[in-house]
Each structure stands twice: as C-alpha cells, then as structure tokens.
C-alpha cells in the first residue's frame, strides 16, 4: 500500500471527515497538525501550492481537500 499522509488542523471538518474515512477503511496514515507545526505547514505548501487543509498525499499523488472518490481510487477502496 502507498504511504498516506494528511496535513490537517484539529478544527477542520473536512480533515476530520478524511481521517474518519481512513479509519473506517482501515487505512494507516500519518497526520501532521499544520496549525502548530510550522515546518510541516511549509512542507504542505511546497507540495500543494495551497494553504487550505486538508492536503492529502497518497504516494506521489497530492489531493487538496477531501475528495472521497479520488481517495477511494488511489487507496483501492470500492
């Protein structure tokens, strides 16, 4: 399985929806709280060109926002 990373903030509704999606589908992921981790925030901006969250990486693919159909495709969930 490809490595999954989410750049998020604690109060972001779409971030929490994405994390729930991962948990429900038993997909392991790494979470970075960009509200408090400035290094990871800069990393997120460099990868996505965006300040909005969530930014999700699946392998080399970058998704801005919670795009459930695209995530299902990338992680192999039906």
Mean pLDDT by 10 residues, the chain (78 residues): 94 97 97 98 96 96 97 93
Res 63: pLDDT:
97
Secondary structure (H, E, C), 7-57 = EECCCCHHHHHHHHHHHHCCCCCEEEECCCCHHHHHHHHHHHCCCCCCEEE
Superfamily of domain 4-75: Glutaredoxin (3.40.30.10)
Res 45: pLDDT:
97
Contact call for residues 7 and 40 (beta carbons, < 8 A): yes
Contact call for residues 54 and 66 (beta carbons, < 8 A): yes
Its pTM surpasses 0.85: yes
Domains in the chain: boundaries: 4-75
> Whole-angstrom Cα distance, residue 22 to residue 19?
5
Res 78: pLDDT:
82
Res 1: pLDDT:
73
């Amino acid at each position: 399985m490809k490595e999954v990373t989410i750049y998020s903030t604690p109060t972001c509704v779409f971030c929490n929806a994405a994390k729930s999606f991962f948990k429900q589908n038993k997909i392991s992921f790494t979470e970075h709280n960009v509200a408090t981790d400035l290094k990871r925030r800069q990393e997120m901006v460099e990868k996505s060109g965006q300040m909005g969250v969530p930014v999700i990486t699946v392998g080399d693919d970058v998704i801005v926002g919670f795009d459930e159909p695209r995530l299902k495709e990338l992680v192999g969930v039906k």
